[in-house]
Amino acid sequence: MLLGTWNLENLYRPGGPYGPEDEAAYEVKLAALAAVITELDPTLLGVQEVGDPEALKDLAGMLDDDWQLALSEHADSRGIRVGFLSRTAVTVLADTTAFPAELRPVQVDDSGATVTRAGRGFLAVEAGEAGHGPLRVAVCHLKSKLLSYPNDRFQPRDEGERARYGAYALYRRSAEATALRALADELLDGDGQGRDVAVLGDLNDEMQAATTQILLGPPGSEIGTPGYEKADKGDATRLWDVAPLIPPGQRYSRVNSGRRELIDHVLLSHRLVHRVTAAGTGLPGEGPPGLPSVGPDPAERRGAPGSDHAPVWVRIGG
């Protein structure tokens, strides 16, 4: 079984303000995405930046076999949302944006406006897994590190504004990571040794970032440490980021201003992580393609073919 995540970058049908300008550019984008998915051959693929549900159907129609689709009903202001492409039937367990009740509203701009829920939904599904019981998977797309400012600006008026809006973005991403961890707790139900649970998606931060670390649960037993092979009571609620299992030369999923970074992640429960036989980015045996370097203005890549992210995947053995 191959489990993966991929940000499809502005998957819209043509004609709107964010997608390709014409049908020809749209067909080129779909063909590039379909070629990667066909070669990757995932059993279950979590996806982000689906701006138009019909566009995901168009993409699935270009793939072999009969793919099952699941999409969150909670899109952001641009209409993008998360979802799944699956070779097997899936059952939706949760589709939520809610912050934990104990978490205070989070400031988002200089006006003092606050939010009490995630900007995009977290979608959790259950799929059958031969011989191992159900597989429970949540997909997410946390608040972007790419900053935007009032009046649709992507550049700040001064460094004070840049710092403040960087903080607002971090507040939101931290709150969203906390909400996602709460969903992971529901899926694990205190039985990570006996349940196969995965949390995956575009976390918009790297492995050691505080927001990513929120998702892991009890500290200790990380991959590559002496505690990894030693069972303890924390295994019931931990998640393991598979990033250390990815070959070092492949350990990136996006290029930001010329710098390689791994911001798309797959996290697994105790029983599931110990069945991993391989992990990577891009295509197995090849690694990430020649990814474009993105800058502070996402509109610069409107209608570009393919995606500015590489898929991240794990292969699970029997």
- Give the CATH number of the domain where residue 67 resides: 3.60.10.10
Instruction: Answer whether residue 15 shows pLDDT above 70.
Output: yes
Cα 147 versus chain centre, distance: 18
For residue 114, what are the contacts with CB-CB under 8 A and spacing of at least 6? 105, 106, 107, 108
| Mean pLDDT of the 21-35 span | 95
User: Residue 245 contacts by C-beta under 8 Å, 6 or more apart in sequence?
Assistant: 223, 276, 278, 279, 314
Is the CB of residue 201 less than 8 Å from the CB of residue 46? yes
Q: What is the pLDDT of residue 64?
A: 87
The answer on pLDDT for 8 being more than 90 is: yes
The encoded tokens of residue 107 equal 């400031």
From residue 65, alpha-carbon distances to 61, 91, 117, 197, 209 in Å are 9, 19, 37, 26, 39
Looking at residue 318, its pLDDT comes to 75
The arithmetic mean of pLDDT across residues 262-276, rounded, is: 97
Give the number of other Cβ atoms within 10 Å of residue 196's Cβ: 24
- What does the pLDDT read at residue 75? 98
> Which of 52-56, 108-112, 113-117, 295-299 bottoms out in mean pLDDT, i.e. has the lowest?
295-299
Range of the structural domain that residue 41 is part of? 2-316
Predicted pLDDT of residue 131: 64
Average pLDDT, stretch 55-67? Answer: 94
If you average pLDDT over residues 136-144, what whole number do you get?
Answer: 97
**Is residue 21 pLDDT above 80, yes or no?**
yes
- Distance CA(84)–CA(265), nearest Å, equals 15
Segment 293-304 shows an average pLDDT of: 83
Is the confidence at residue 287, as pLDDT, over 90? no
CA atoms in the 13 A half-sphere facing the CB of 237? 14
pLDDT band at 295 (very low <50, low <70, confident <90, very high): confident
CA distance 305 to 9: 9
Dump pLDDT digits (tens) for 108-124: 999 999 999 999 999 99
Which pLDDT belongs to residue 145?
A: 87
Lowest mean pLDDT among 37-46, 162-171, 222-231: 222-231
Tell me the mean pLDDT in the region 207-217: 97
Task: Give the pair of three-digit tokens for residue 168.
Answer: 């607002």
Q: Tell me how many domains the chain contains.
A: 1
pTM of this prediction exceeds 0.85:
yes
How many whole angstroms separate alpha carbon 80 and alpha carbon 307? Answer: 14
The DSSP line for the chain is -EEEEEEEEEE--TTSSSS-SSHHHHHHHHHHHHHHHHHH--SEEEEEEE--HHHHHHHHHTSSS--EEEE-S---TT--EEEEEESS-EEEEEEEEEPPTTSPPEE-STT--EESEEEEEEEEEEEEETTTEEEEEEEEEPPPSS--BGGGBSS-SSHHHHHHHHHHHHHHHHHHHHHHHHHHHHHHTT-TTT-EEEEEEE-SS-TTSHHHHHTT-SS---TTSGGGGS--GGGGT--EE-GGGS-GGG--SEEETTEEE--EEEEE-HHHHTTEEEEEESBTTTBS--PPEE-S-GGGGTT-SS-SS--EEEEE--
In which band, very low, low, confident or very high, does the pLDDT at 143 lie, cut at 50, 70 and 90?
Answer: very high
Least confident interval from 17-31, 134-148, 164-178, 288-302:
288-302
